[in-house]
Amino acid sequence: MEKKISYGKLFIEMLKISTFTFGGGFVIIGMMQKKFCDELHWVSDEEVLDMTAIAQSAPGALAVNSAIIFGYRMGGIQGVLVSTLATIIPPLVIISIICNIYDAFSTNKIIQIALQVMKEIGYDEEYHVLVKVNKQSSEINGAVAHDEISAGDQGIMFGYADDETEELMPYAIITAHKLAKKLEEVRRQTPFLRPDGKTQVTAEYVDGKLTRVDTIVVSTQHTADVTQEEIRKCIKEQVIDPVIDPSLVDENTKYLINPSGSFVLGGSWGDSGTTGRKIVVDTYGGYAPIGGGCFSSKDPTKVDRSAAYYARYVCKNLVANGLAHKCQLELSYAIGVQQPISVYVKSFGTSKYSDDELQAIVLKNFDFSVKNIIDELDLRRPIYRETVNYGHFGKKDLPWEQFKKIEL
């Protein structure tokens, strides 16, 4: 077959084939046949078969071998250079881009922190972290970014404290956190226990007073080579018994340890969601009301987080100052507004002051503007790693857990 080719045309066509064809060498050969045989008539069907056989028998990548042979058949040595260059440029460029992206991701501080935390927890699976952070809506930013910071969203937030534990937290949730901490300690010393785990405590009250523990739930991930009997014995003796006050358990207390049975696949490999955390666990365990939004991942202008912290700060200090045995605070905010649109204090009849009197004391001692909350609690610091597990409240080193003398 008489061939009259254009090297520029050869380069362009080979570049397009290499760039947009996926599936390996045989796919590229098919595209070469369609272009150079059927459309341009530079080679015949018989030549395509012969060149394919030679490319297969030669060492090296089939796509590159085919480009060399097709190029030589259509344009000699110059054809080889043109065809081969056009074939290798696209994957070279694509791989270079991928390498640069990988390098950028692998050195990204956010990704490194996330991977380090996963490693510290004990997950040894290979995790890939995708970070996608966009700018805040210009409309929301316009409503919030004043000299006096305004609320970044509307919502209702609650705070709570009582004196039934030294942390001034409800017994059930603080005990569940202690069980989780103990489980973490024990599993690091026990080869058949794995990182994922959950705890739950149900307490019984009579006339508002804690009387007994009704149910204790502990679920723990484990290796496949251990029996549930071994797990239950370990958890009961090494996790539950050292934590639970024996005076609060009786013959009717229920112990549910891995109640669903096998729990080998855990972590985000077994169950993952996008809710931003379970705020019942992060707050008061269901003993007190919770707001509508999660805390984690939000900056302090989001009152879902900062106002909930401040509400806890107020309640804890009302109890710590002896003004009530139990206290609940409800706040509500509107987006773009600096001050709350409502403040409501409830002491459940445990204070010598009326709720109205307590509310007046609160408003005298605490400034609920968003800017003051951020400044007083110093919330723009990197302090939030402490909140990634065992709840956001009841931890003595966090700023919203600090004591403040209240003036009457």
Same domain as 361, residue 323: yes
Q: What is the pLDDT of residues 143-169, one digit of tens each?
A: 676 667 878 778 899 999 999 999 999
Integer Cα distance of 408 and 406 in angstroms: 6
Both structure tokens of 380: 């723009």
Query: 293: domain range?
Result: 147-167+287-408
Integer Cα distance of 148 and 66 in angstroms: 68
Same domain as 253, residue 163: no
Integer Cα distance of 308 and 393 in angstroms: 10
Inter-residue contact 14 to 83 (CB < 8 Å): yes
Same domain as 269, residue 295: no
Question: What pLDDT is attached to residue 1?
Answer: 42
Same domain as 399, residue 259: no
Question: What pLDDT is attached to residue 137?
Answer: 75
Q: What is the pLDDT of residues 199-210, one digit of tens each?
A: 999 999 999 899
List Cβ neighbours of 339 (8 Å cut-off, separation of 6 or more): 368, 369
Same domain as 70, residue 89: yes
Does some domain include residue 119?
A: no
Strands (E), 231-358: 254-257, 326-333, 342-346
CA separation, residue 176 to residues 167, 191, 253, 396 (Å):
13, 23, 15, 17
Same domain as 345, residue 319: yes
The total domain count for the chain is 3
Regions of the chain with pLDDT less than 70: 1-4, 22-26, 102-107, 127-133, 142-143, 145-147, 269, 271-277
CATH classification of the domain holding 293: 3.30.300.10
CA separation, residue 315 to residues 39, 152, 311, 391 (Å):
80, 23, 6, 17
**Helix (H/G/I), strand (E/B), else coil: 321:** coil
Same domain as 292, residue 278: no
Question: What pLDDT is attached to residue 272?
Answer: 63
Question: What pLDDT is attached to residue 356?
Answer: 96
Same domain as 370, residue 267: no
Q: What is the pLDDT of residues 306-350, one digit of tens each?
A: 999 999 999 999 999 999 999 999 999 998 888 999 999 999 999
Both structure tokens of 311: 């509400």
Question: What pLDDT is attached to residue 104?
Answer: 66
Task: State residue 255 phi and psi, 5-degree precision.
Answer: -115, 110
Same domain as 326, residue 244: no
